[in-house]
Structures are given as C-alpha cells and as structure tokens.
Amino acid sequence: MSFAFRSLLMRDLRLAARSGGSAFLALAFFALMATLVPLGVGADLHLLARVAAGVLWVGAVLAALLSLDRLFQGDFDDGSLDLIALSPLSLEEVALAKFLAHWLSTGLPLTLLSPLLALFFGLSPLGTEMLVLSLLIGTPAVSAVGAIGASLTLSLKRGGLILPLLILPLLTPVVIFGAGAVSTALDGLANGALGLLAAFSVAAVLLSPFVTAACVRLNLAG
Amino acid sequence: MIISLTAEKLACVRGDRQVFTALNFQVGAGEVLVVEGANGVGKTSLLRLIAGFLPPATGSIAITTDKNVISDGEERGRQAGWLGHQDGIKPQLSVGEQLEFFAHLYGARTELEGVLNQVGLSRQRLLPCRYLSAGQKKRLGLARLMISARPLWLLDEPFAALDTAGRVLASALMQAHCASGGIVVAASHDPFGFAARSMRLGAP
C-alpha cells in the first residue's frame, strides 16, 4: 500500500469519524430500525427469529446507503476531488481507497453491531453466527456497488435522492443470498448461498474501482 | 525540468456551446501567462483543459520536459499544481491536518512549518478550517501549491479574496516559482505586481 493511498484512506476515515461524519449516523439508523421492528411486529419470538435475517440485512443496506452520497459528493462540491485527481494516485486507486474507507467506516461497524441487534429478534446463536458471517462477506459488495452509484450521480444536484433508486435493484442478490444463508442454516439445510454471496462480493469489489473511476472522469469533465 | 507548455488549434465545447476555437499559445519555462477575458469566455475551461480534466474538442495540448513530451491528459495533470476557485478545504480538519494530508498525497518532502510561516498561517496550525476566512483559505491554497512541488501552476483567480499583503505574497510566490524554472498560467482580472505576458480570450 503506497503512502499516498494510505493518507487518502486515513483522511476519509477521519472525516467519517468527525462531527458531521457519516459513521455514527449509519450505526444509529441501523440500531433504531432494528429496535422499531420488534415493537411493530409484536412479541412473537418465533416469528421475529424467522424475519430477523431479512430485516437486519435490509436495515444494513439502507444504513450503508445513507452515507453513500458523502463518498465523493463532498470532495466534488468543494473542489477537493480536483486536487485528488491531480495527485500521483490513479483514479482507480482513489476509488479503491474511498471504497475501503466507506466499508471500514460503515460496513464493518454495522457487521460488528449486528449480533447485539439479533438479540432483539431472538435469533439463535447459529443464526447469529451466520448473520455476522454473511454481513462480513456481503457488506463490501454494498460499498462497492454504492461507490459506482455515488460517482455516477456526482454532478446531479440532490443526487442523493436518486442514488437509492439506482443502487437498490443492483443489491437484490446481496440481500437474497445474505438473508437466505441465515434462513437455510436455521432450517438445517446445506446451502450455497454464502458461496454465491462471496462470488457476487468479489466480482463487485474487483469491478467497482474501474467503473467508479470512469464515472469520476466523466463528472470531472462535465 | 519543464521546458514549455504548448497548445495548438485548441477548441473547447461545453454542452452545445462553442467556448473558443483555434487557440494557439506557447509558454516557456520561467514565464507567467495571464489569461484575461470577460466572464464566461472560457478561462476556467482553459485551465481545466490544461490540467486534463476536460478533453479538448479538437487540437492538442502538450507539456515538453527535458525528458519527453506529455500530451495525455492525466499525465499532464501529474505536472500541474492547482489553485481553483473552489477551496478544496474540509471544515472539519485543522489547517495542519489539511496540509499534512496533501503533502502525503503528493509525496512531498517539504517542511510544513516553513510553508505555513511563509503564507502567514503558522498560528492557525491547530485551528479547524471552518474558522478560516476566505482570504486565509486562499493562503492555505497557496501553501498547498508550494507543497505540491509541481512545475506547472494553474491558478484560477489567484488574487480573489486576498488582502494587500496576500496579493504581494501571491505575486512573490509566482515570481519565485518562475525564477526556479516553473510555468504559471493564471486566469485573472486583477493587475499583477510584475510584468507578465497576457492573452485575451474571446477577443474578435
């Protein structure tokens, strides 16, 4: 990892942690949503355990989306992106650093928080273990696909509102395989959902920097 | 060492609008080129073209160094130091953190304390940038420019928001940059404190 790459990564993490940063916001949203659902559904533990994986997965995806528009938008609006683009880093490396920073500041904390929230749903230890594993494998894909969307909508005013419409359909496989891995494990069935989730995640993470860099180039020229 | 910046038959199109066509110029090492012209005549677009952000509609821009000729947009950008009309400053970061980040990003070895002293921001080193005035932000931009250690400076309204001392400082920095063999291309309406070549865009 080059020095310049690390400095960009550390700066984005620092911005996410400071006031007005998005790291805390995503976690709070996730926690509040996971608290509200059991209150709405009622105290039927059997039912809650069944829907836990689906609800928590959707919650994690929505929470990660909340912070996506800050991935490039802030730097684009105040001119930082111009300066970063002229640095010795290629835009592909910039995209990779920003994706990593987003995952480390949202995807990873969401994953770490999930076992606690799974308690509200009475999810069994096996189910919780599966949930954490699937989030760990799947959330990088959320950040990777999200980075593409964030870079695509850069020059749109209020692009943050269009972003979920653009990204959510692309993330359906992640939610299906992620939540599916948990429910099949609860049913005691052998399943390939985790493998498919991993495949999707790897493909998304590998492709994302190139697509994102191309979108950033278009927007810098716009 | 940079030798020259050359543009040939350069044309710029923004949306459906032809901004300028058939623009030719050459700037040699140690020279300042001031780009003048009315609002909307394409001064900023020209700077973005040179930096490689915008692809030219037609024509070419090349930087000649003692080693090679660089005509690819992104490679050109690696030679450029940028001071845009947007400040590129994060309100949450302190002046020192902001500058340190850019020094690391650009792989610069410059001593930050000295640069901060030169632009008159050494007392603000620990101050979050949200408390800086517009002029102080410009000074921070100048500090960044010095740290970037790039041979070609692209400046968009370098004197805007600066006080008298700040203008003198900006002029002195440009002259020092040229004296060490650099090139400055600046879009500006303000008088420079020294003799500089000027080019008027949009003149019939």
Mean pLDDT in chain B? 90
**Interface predicted TM-score (ipTM) of this complex, two decimals:** 0.92
A172 inside 8 A of chain B by CB: no
Strands B69-70 and B17-28, sheet pairing:
unpaired
How much is the average pLDDT of B187-204? 79
pLDDT at B67 over 50: yes
d(CA A139, CA B64): 46
CATH class (in words) of the domain with range B1-79+151-204: alpha beta
A1 inside 8 A of chain B by CB: no
Dihedral Cα A17, A20, A23, A27, nearest 10 deg: 130
Assess contact for B93 and A15: CB atoms under 8 A.
yes
How much is the average pLDDT of A16-40? 87
Domain with CATH 3.40.50.300 in chain B: 1-79+151-204
User: Could you tell me the CA-to-CA distances from A221 to A42, B43, B57, B190 in Å, in that order?
Assistant: 53, 15, 12, 27
Please, where are the H alpha helices in chain A? 3-17, 23-41, 45-66, 73-77, 80-85, 91-102, 108-120, 125-152, 159-167, 172-186, 193-221
Q: Which candidate in B12, B47, B70, B90 is best for mutational testing of the A interface (most A CBs within 10 A)?
A: B90
* B53 with A85: Cβ contact below 8 A: yes
Q: ∠ at Cα A72 (A69, A73), nearest 5°?
A: 60
Over residues B159-178, the pLDDT tens digits come to 988 999 999 999 999 999 99
Angle (deg, nearest 10), helices A172-186 and A125-152: 180
Q: ∠ at Cα B166 (B86, B2), nearest 5°?
A: 70
Residues 6 or more apart whose CB falls under 8 angstroms from that of A175 comprise A54, A57, A58, A61
Which pLDDT belongs to residue A171?
Answer: 95
Find chain B residues with C-beta within 8 A of A84's C-beta: 105
- Beta carbons within 10 angstroms of residue B26's beta carbon: 13
d(CA B112, CA B100): 7
d(CA A210, CA A127): 35
Name the range with the highest mean pLDDT among A153-162, B9-18, B130-139.
Answer: B130-139
Name the range with the highest mean pLDDT among A194-198, B68-72, B196-200.
Answer: A194-198
Q: Which helix H or strand E contains B43, and what residues bound it?
A: helix B43-51
How much is the average pLDDT of B81-89? 91
Which pLDDT belongs to residue B199?
Answer: 87
Assess contact for A178 and A132: CB atoms under 8 A.
no
Find chain A residues with C-beta within 8 A of B55's C-beta: 221
